[in-house]
Amino acid sequence: MSTTFSSSVSSMQATSLATFQKPAALVSRTNLSFNLRRSIPTRFSISCAAKPETVEKVSKIVKKQLSLKDDQKVVAETKFADLGADSLDTVEIVMGLEEEFGIEMAEEKAQKIATVEQAAELIEELVEANK
């Protein structure tokens, strides 16, 4: 296959460069003619990498800390800032989570937490590392 390709390229170079019209043979060569062996899913689903019960516990602590009503929806993607927490509240929430799960978060990682999901994932990482 490669030899025919190079011959068709050389034939194209032989013709004048003013016309960029590719010969039909060259077009068919550049088709994707190989098959995809695995079927790639057409739709990505954004899934939470943390377990649901961890997310549940985190949301409970967040609600208690920020004094939210029980019917306020707190899901994995909720940002703490959206719930009315300032930066000190976020640190307090992180300390509450540390106490609840018996872990210690490094300062740099804890600074990056902005959503419930990030907190739950970090918690699970540390719980796994402790075992």
Partner 1 sequence: MAAPFTLRKIGVPPNSANLTEARRRVFDYFRAACRSIPTIMDIYNLQDVVAPSQLRFSISAQIRKNAHVTDPKVIDLLLFKGMEELTDIVDHAKQRHHIIGQYVVGEGLVQNTGSKDQGKSDFLKNFYTSNYF
Minimum CB separation of residue 73 from partner 1 in Å reads 23
Q: Is residue 128 at the binding interface for partner 1, with CB under 8 A as the rule?
A: no
Adjacent-strand bridge partners of 115: 79
| Total chain residues near partner 1 (CB under 8 A) | 17
Residues 68-127 that bind partner 1 (CB under 8 A): 87-89, 91-92, 95-96, 98-99, 102-104, 107, 111
Instruction: List helix spans (H) across the chain.
Output: 2-14, 24-29, 52-66, 87-101, 107-111, 116-130
What is the dihedral sign for C-alpha 95, 97, 100, 103?
negative
Restricting to residues 30-49, name those near partner 1 by CB under 8 A: none
Interface residue with partner 1 among 22, 64, 79, 109 (CB under 8 A) is 64
Per this entry, what is the length of the chain? 131
Distance of CA 96 to the CA centre of its chain: 26
Task: List residues binding partner 1 (CB under 8 A).
Answer: 64-65, 87-89, 91-92, 95-96, 98-99, 102-104, 107, 111, 130
The residues carrying an active-site annotation are 86
